[in-house]
């Protein structure tokens, strides 16, 4: 732990820190992550990345983690803490600043929040700016970025916006919805953080960063609704206090009421860029609102497509299912079964699914669904299959289109029936000591409240049909397996 090129990363289990870890590893940087629970992080890091136990609230744990470090990222805040987060943030920053100075760290890079430096600043934003001041007081040069709303799948602000727009056709909106902000895409935030390692800034500059557009939370919700094809109405009211807004968010979004109150308390402050120092210092041109939201949805699709649900979900037993699991905006129902057949034999059964072979269970229900689809202008089941015993990407199977296939291992189908959202059905085959494990996952990305009602309304039917299909595939493959 004495590499002069090593970079210390705090907050690697958080939203920004986790993504920054990936970006730095892709650039071949030597990283050491500070983690209170190293066992929760070791499986996520690359081979050359170290994980050091430590906690900024425990001064004695920091010297060893900082030994030999040239630059350190400070990406820690305690907004979700059960007691006053301001004092925890203050204590953590003091401890880290002192340890960094003692270790000879050459640069600290910190991500704080935009907002004017006046008495009306919210406790959340005031704490973020105070942390920057405490880090600078150590004498170690600090590059501080102050950002507005961060747009990215998984960010607190974006998930709040997504949940509100997806779930509420009519929204009663408090005054904070019209406060000006300058939202920035997570991609651009990461670009600034990575560039700060090698920039030639002198002293401890503060860079204000934001996207290309000045908008409000209401504008962000309207643009998200437009890109999702949703019609939403907002009714402004003057009497929703930050406390009431936080409790309301806790009911209708995935955000805890305590965190929601802190977040809303900060939203009432304008967060816009008032100087262009960042634009002059870095060759980064941030995305505008429309492009940032489109990029978030697009990247989320790509990340979701490559996710292996056998890794993300632990099997509780044969045919275990998670009908209410949420991943981003999507619902996931996954189940697995042990097959007394080889992966190739199971895939051979999968290869014949649909068309004249049918769907291995509840074919009359599939025909009914096809007929209903035709009634509303969909494709129904009339397309069948052009290749009865072969799967090729782009081919159609009844109301589905083959989106991805790996012979003997994987099949993903994308629904082309009329739906209040998007749907996929995928199968994964993993070798086992005796035979193989077949996992089936149904994925639904709902559009609005109608999409969510559709998922929950048909969940019992899907549970019966998909469970029966999985059992039937395993049974047919076993019958062809030599004993």
Structure tokens that stand for 53 in this block: 């136990």
- What per-residue confidence (pLDDT) applies to 82? 47
The residues, any chain, with a CB within 8 Å of residue 349's CB and separated by 6 or more, are 360, 473, 476, 477, 480
Per-residue pLDDT at 159 exceeds 80: no
244, pLDDT greater than 60: no
pLDDT (tens digit, 9 = 90+) per residue, 326-353? 666 678 888 889 998 999 999 999 999 9
* Chain region(s) in the chain for CATH 3.40.50.720: 7-302
Residue scoring higher pLDDT (341 or 155): 341
pLDDT at 465 over 80: yes
pLDDT at 314: 38
> Over 386-443, what HEC string results?
CCCCCCCCCCEECCEEEEEEECCCEEEEEECCCCCEEEEEEEEEEECCCCEEEEEEEE
Cα separation, 389 vs 401, whole angstroms: 15
Choices 3.40.50.10490, 3.40.50.720, 3.40.50.1000, 3.40.50.300: CATH for 7-302: 3.40.50.720
Three-class SS state of 115? coil
The CATH code of domain 307-479 reads 3.30.530.20
Report which of 232, 180, 231, 211 is spatially closest to residue 293, judged by C-alpha positions.
211
Question: In this structure, are residues 173 and 179 in contact, taking their beta carbons and an 8 Å threshold?
Answer: no
pLDDT in tens, 269-296: 788 899 899 999 999 999 999 999 999 8
Q: Highest mean pLDDT: which of 34-43, 136-145, 166-175, 432-441? A: 136-145
Q: Name the segment(s) of the chain with CATH classification 3.30.530.20.
A: 307-479
Q: What is the pLDDT of residues 405-437, one digit of tens each?
A: 999 989 999 998 889 888 999 999 988 878 898
- Of residues 176 and 373, more confidence is placed in 373
pLDDT at 299: 80
Q: Which two tokens stand for residue 337?
A: 């079964």
Nearest-angstrom CA–CA distance, 416 and 239: 45
pLDDT of residue 313: 43
């Amino acid at each position: 732990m004495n590499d002069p090129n090593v970079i210390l990363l705090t907050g690697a289990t958080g939203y920004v820190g986790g993504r920054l870890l990936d970006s730095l590893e892709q650039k071949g940087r030597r990283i050491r992550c500070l983690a209170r629970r190293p066992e929760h992080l070791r499986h996520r890091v690359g081979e050359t990345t170290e994980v050091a136990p430590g906690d900024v609230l425990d001064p004695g744990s920091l010297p060893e983690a900082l030994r030999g470090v040239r630059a350190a990222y400070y990406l820690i805040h305690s907004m979700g803490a059960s007691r006053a987060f301001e004092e925890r943030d203050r204590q953590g920053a003091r401890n880290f600043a002192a340890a960094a100075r003692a270790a000879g760290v050459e640069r600290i890079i910190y991500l704080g929040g935009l907002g004017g430096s006046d008495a009306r600043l919210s406790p959340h934003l005031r704490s973020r700016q105070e942390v920057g001041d405490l880090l600078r007081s150590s004498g170690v040069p600090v590059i501080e970025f102050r950002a507005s709303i961060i747009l990215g799948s998984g960010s607190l602000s974006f998930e709040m916006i997504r949940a509100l727009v997806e779930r509420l056709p009519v929204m009663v909106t408090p005054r904070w919805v019209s406060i000006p902000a300058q939202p920035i895409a997570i991609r651009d935030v990461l670009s600034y953080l990575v560039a700060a390692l090698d920039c030639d800034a002198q002293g401890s500059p503060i860079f204000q960063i934001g996207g290309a557009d000045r908008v409000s939370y209401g504008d962000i919700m309207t643009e998200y609704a437009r890109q999702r094809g949703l019609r939403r109405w907002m009714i402004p009211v003057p009497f929703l206090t930050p406390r009431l807004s936080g409790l309301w968010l806790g009911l209708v979004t995935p955000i805890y009421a305590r965190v929601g109150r802190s977040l809303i308390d900060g939203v009432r402050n304008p967060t816009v860029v008032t100087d262009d120092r960042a634009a002059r210092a870095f060759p980064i041109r941030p995305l505008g609102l429309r492009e940032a939201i489109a990029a978030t949805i697009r990247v989320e699709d790509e990340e979701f497509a490559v996710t292996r649900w056998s890794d993300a979900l632990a099997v509780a037993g044969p045919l275990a299912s998670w009908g209410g699991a949420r991943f981003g905006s999507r619902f996931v129902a996954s189940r697995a079964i042990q097959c007394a057949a080889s992966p190739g034999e199971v895939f051979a059964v999968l290869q014949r699914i649909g068309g004249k072979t049918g769907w291995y269970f509840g074919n009359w229900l599939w025909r009914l669904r096809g007929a209903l689809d035709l009634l509303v202008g969909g494709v129904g089941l009339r397309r069948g299959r052009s290749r009865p015993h072969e799967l090729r990407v782009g081919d159609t199977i009844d109301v589905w289109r083959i989106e991805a296939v790996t012979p003997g291992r994987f099949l993903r189908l994308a629904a082309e029936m009329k739906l209040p959202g998007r749907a996929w059905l995928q199968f994964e085959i993993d070798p086992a000591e005796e035979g193989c494990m077949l996992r089936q996952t149904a994925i639904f990305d709902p559009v609005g409240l109608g999409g969510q009602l559709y998922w929950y309304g048909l969940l019992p039917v899907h549970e019966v049909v998909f469970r029966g299909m999985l059992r039937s595939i395993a049974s047919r493959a076993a019958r062809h397996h030599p004993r």
